[in-house]
Structure 1
Amino acid sequence: MEQNKTGKPALPAGRYFKYAIGEIILVVIGILIALSINNWNESRTQNVVKQELIASLIEDFEYNKDALKVSRNYADSLFTNMNTFQELIQSGTPLVSVDSLRQLAHSHFRGAIYDPNLTAYEEAKSTGNFSLLNNKTLSELFTVFIRNFENYEDLNDEGRYSYFNGSSWELRKTINLSLISADQSTIDSPLTQTLSYQDYKTMVSTSLAKAALQNSSTLYSNIIRVYGNMDNATTKILELLYEMKEE
């Protein structure tokens, strides 16, 4: 006190440096812990989003598979009717009534129906969450499904064009289509003219009629092929999604 030295004694330079290093280490450790917790939370959140996406995709593609089965069976039945019609016409003998032929011919002028649910897939692509699946095979299968669905839509557009602008339209301009085809609800309606088997065969053997009927048959053959591709892709997509769900 006589020398006016009342403060704390100064720390040696070496000890001060050690304290500074210790504090820096504590700060770094704190930052690393905070980053680790943040990464864990982010990973946990992403995993929740991923599992929700997987569940939504499974729900959508289970629906798509069931809807595809119905559409494929319908297309198969129409295509079978078309082939039966051609066999009966080519047989040269009246094996069935003209009304039965008209019912079979009606399959050539029916539209295909398939409308898959792609809500979860499209939302995941638009938000970027699709990358959470991180599965190249799954991505390729989705691409196969989408590409074939687009092909199906193109084929359907082709069928509509044929009916309203193409070969079916040209045929309809020359003859009342109800003479050639009729569904069950209208088959009992009286025709404006009586058709014998030979009259009917002559009518469906014209160039326009043969073109319209053949185009429809070819169209459905392609639609059935595309349905098969979509069905195979859907089955494999669901297998992978269920595996990922269990991980």
Structure 2
Amino acid sequence: MIKFFRKIRQRMLKENRATRYTIYALGEIVLVVIGILIALQIDNLNERNKIKKLEQQLLKGLLTEFESNLQLLDDAIYLNNANIENSIRLGEYTGPSISDINEKELSQLMVGIFKNEPRFSPNQGTVQEVINSGRLSILSNAQLRKAISSWQSTLETVKRQENYVVERRDVGHDFFLKEGNFRRHVDLIDDALLDAKPSKFPNNNFKFLEQQEFESQLYLFIVASRNLDVAFYEPLKKRIEQIIELIKNDIL
């Protein structure tokens, strides 16, 4: 093709047809420019397709991750609510004097409060990959980009409240450890991790239930746990559900 245009150009020069040659030369330049623009357009289109394909891969990974995290959060909510329920039941036994103590029943109740630790520990592999690799900008949805970029700070806020709840739980647990017999407790409960054999010490009398300080610490734990559920877990669940919806809307 280039040789063809060169021959035409040379023939025009020999025939001294300068005007036609100029027009032809301009036309040739235009064709070259058009060719370059077409090539650039094709390159841009290929690059956009490549980015779109990568975006779809990231979206599918994020969807799997957040759907899994939603289930993990539901598990944490379940444990937290179980702690609240069992703590309220234990609160029925607190007071200046207690009687008719069923040692095994109360031991089982203590397990329901102090064994389970509600913690939301989400999977973050894809989120961290998106952020650390600088691929956040690949996500075309601005609302989704904002939600992903603020995800870590949201988790840190929830974690602080979880830590506070666990601290309150441990304070209450210390009353039992100091004034009760943990060996007898392990021997009585149904899901003990070892066969402790009966203790030679007297039965647990749960006298700490008669202490006003224990009752205060117990109800502070209940309030903190309820606050974790209402002010932290429930909004977090809505945020995860919103993120899942945003991702689904962008998956082709």
Does 2:24 align with 1:24?
no
Gaps in structure 2 of 5+ consecutive residues:
1-12
Change (3 A) 1:92 1:229: farther
User: 2:77 is matched by which residue type in structure 1?
Assistant: R
* Separation of aligned partners in 1, 2:197 and 2:157: 37
State TM-score, norm by structure 2.
0.76
- The equivalent residue for 1:66 is 71
Residue among 164, 167, 173 paired with 1:158: 164
Shift of the 169–66 alpha-carbon distance from structure 1 to 2, 3 Å rule, reads closer
Q: Which residue of 2 aligns with 1:81?
A: 86
Per-residue CA deviation, residues 176-206 of structure 1 (Å, 9 max, x unaligned), is: 473997653349964522345xxx2x41233
Shift of 1:94: 4.9
CA distance in 2, matches of 1:142, 1:103: 42
Cα distance in 1 between the residues matched to 2:203 and 2:177: 20
Question: Could you tell me which residue of structure 2 aligns to residue 118 of structure 1?
Answer: 124
Report the more deviating stretch, 113-122 or 24-33.
Answer: 113-122
Work out which of the residue numbers 203, 216, 231 in structure 2 matches 1:194. Answer: 203
3-state SS in 2 of match to 1:89: coil
- Alignment deviations for residues 217-240 of structure 1 (CA, whole Å, 9 cap, x no partner): 233223323222221111111112
Q: Return the offset for 1:92.
A: 6.9
Q: What is the percentage of aligned positions where both structures have the same residue?
A: 22
1:80–1:169 distance in 2 versus 1, CA, 3 Å: closer
Give 2:120's aligned amino acid.
Y
**In the TM superposition, what is the alpha-carbon distance from 1:46 to its structure 2 partner?**
0.6
Q: How many residues align?
A: 233
Report the Cα offset of residue 51 of structure 1: 0.6
Aligned to 1:128: 134
Corresponding position: 1:216 with 2:210: no
Aligned residue number for residue 179 of structure 2: 175
Q: Structure 1's 101 and 17: CA in aligned 2 closer, same or farther, altered over 3 A?
A: same
Give the aligned partner of residue 232 of structure 1.
Answer: 238
